[in-house]
Chain A
């Protein structure tokens, strides 16, 4: 009979544990970011115009051979301005090619944005319809992909990059890539 008496308390404790687990699991402030199904798979094939050279197209095949960081941005995106100094600092280390993916923008606005804040990119690709962005699973900006020399997506981050994210997530990925080659 003692078990029956303690049962409500046991149920209460179990419920409290369940709720605590829920709180603990949602501790990640970036929990709305979707995990990309592209990780470990070949990056989508693309052929996109270059912002600074009208008429030139760059394809995914041309970028093979060395890893690159693909950073989705737009002049319309306030978080991209937050990320901009972080990305600039990282690009200046020349660890790998940082390629801009100018999403759903206007050419004049994009050029002015880069003029005003500085251009951290080795190359800026343009996708103003957002059609090829769907193949990447892009749903906003900023988003950042790490693609290795073989054209395989290794890592993705949704939301602005920070020094901590670069140090704790991106750099270990790059070290792993160096080890694999």
Chain B
């Protein structure tokens, strides 16, 4: 039974691979490895606007294909990474950035975790100090802990 299932899966594997290949009508062609590296680094820092839990690099949505093509075109026009990001932010909003800029409305987002850590540290410090102050050493030191 398992052998049959394995055989079936092996037979289906090429079909899955082909379906993947066919879903991108025009795969991007890179001039060189450096361009490809820069492209992948840049698109992995950008969020897909359609399927919002994927990066632009990973997403298979129609708009992600279009935006990837646009990003490559902008790169070839000589725009810097920051300019490409600015281009997308102007059209789709700051949502496309995985790292939002540090601004008054994102302070909580950026510094909130540090604030929580600080609060936790203060609580622990107070508890430790109180316990050491009261001297909780038992009178009977033969007692096992």
Which residues of A come within 8 Å of B, CB atoms? 32, 34-38, 104, 130-131, 133-140
Contact = CB atoms under 8 A, between A and B. Distances in A.
Contacts, number: 38
Nearest to A44: B91
Contacts of B93: 34-37, 137
A102 to B, nearest CB: 15
Interface of B: 49-50, 52, 62-63, 66-67, 70, 89-95
Given A37-B89, A37-B93, A137-B92, A32 B52 contact: yes
Nearest 6 CB-CB pairs, A to B? A137-B91, A139-B49, A139-B63, A37-B93, A130-B66, A137-B92
20 contacts: A32-B52, A34-B49, A34-B92, A34-B93, A35-B93, A37-B90, A37-B92, A37-B94, A130-B66, A131-B66, A134-B70, A134-B91, A137-B91, A137-B93, A138-B63, A139-B49, A139-B50, A139-B63, A140-B50, A140-B62
Contacts of A140: 50, 62-63
Nearest to A135: B91
Contact of B92 (A104, A131, A139): A139
Contacts of A134: 66-67, 70, 91
Contacts of B95: 34
Nearest to B50: A139
Contacts of A34: 49, 92-93, 95
